[in-house]
Amino acid sequence: MRRRTLLITTAAVVGVLALAAGAWAVGASTAPVTPPGDGRAIAVKSPVATPIPKAENMPPLQLTGDTRYVALGDSFAAGMGAGDEHGGCARSVLSSYPAVFAGDTGVRLLHNASCSGATTDDLVNKQLWALNGDVDLVSVSIGGNDLGVAALATACDSGATADCKSDFAAAVDAIGQLTDRLATTYQAIAEAAPNARIVVTGYPLLFELPATSNPEFATTAAVNTATAALNADAESAVTRQQERGVKIWYVPVSFTGHGVGSAKPWVNTKGFAAYHPTAAGYREYARTFETALTGRH
């Protein structure tokens, strides 16, 4: 299978943050590029867009009151930032995208087992109890905490601080292992729910492009590129499971026109839920999820 390589260099991003220029280096290559000085580079293998079975060629699924649905994942599945969160997992009973999707379609949401802060390991060890052979549909939003995207955005909102550089270095390290982690997670889900259709939802780019030169948007390119790398690894892991015969698809989610810096953002920028979707953002997640499953726009 043909693949492209997404290159992320710590030296490059530090330069971006320091200059607040919003530029980012993304290119195609077959090996890492070694930047000058003490910067590091990592080659992230990502699939070419063409051969990846995406939402548009997912067989339509009839959604009825008999469709048994389970949601798994992190804060983006729990609904953190929607405004009506409860409990230690900051889960929204009414405004998370699984809840909105279930309300709109009438499917039976058996469990939303997601939890804010969850990693791939947390999902495998703490959320698979919700699955069994009777489940028809599973949604999965996971990987953001393995990479630390929201934490990176928060750490870098004042520019190239020591915390910002440290968090970005940690994200670069995690990217190299993420495809394998995600593939293992998706395989575990498929084994726990052998008759279910599994849909992996991507993460929206948080910042509106192009980046501005204002200090508060100095990290736009870094955070968006880290998110793009996460999504590419999710696609790659989904493809790996599809090749094993698993009924699994990747669904990209876009907040274009509604990211941080837009007139009407669907992203919180302050408080405990900073850099998580608002209730409007979760409605867009639900709409995208339903459209992908049914083919109806």
Rounded Cα distance between 13 and 39, Å, is 9
Is 75 noted as a catalytic residue in this protein?
yes
Amino acid (1-letter code) at residue 225: T
The number of CA neighbours under 13 Å toward the Cβ of 216 is 5
Amino acid (1-letter code) at residue 7: L
Question: Among 158, 254, 276, 297, which one carries the catalytic annotation?
Answer: 276
Question: Among 46, 75, 95, 139, which one carries the catalytic annotation?
Answer: 75
Is 276 noted as a catalytic residue in this protein?
yes
Rounded Cα distance between 86 and 89, Å, is 7
Tallying the residues shown for the chain, one arrives at 297
Q: In what order do the strands lie in the sheet with 197-201?
A: 108-112, 68-73, 137-141, 197-201, 248-251
Rounded Cα distance between 275 and 151, Å, is 8
In angstroms, how far apart are the furthest CA atoms of the chain? 60
Hey, which residues are catalytic here?
75, 276
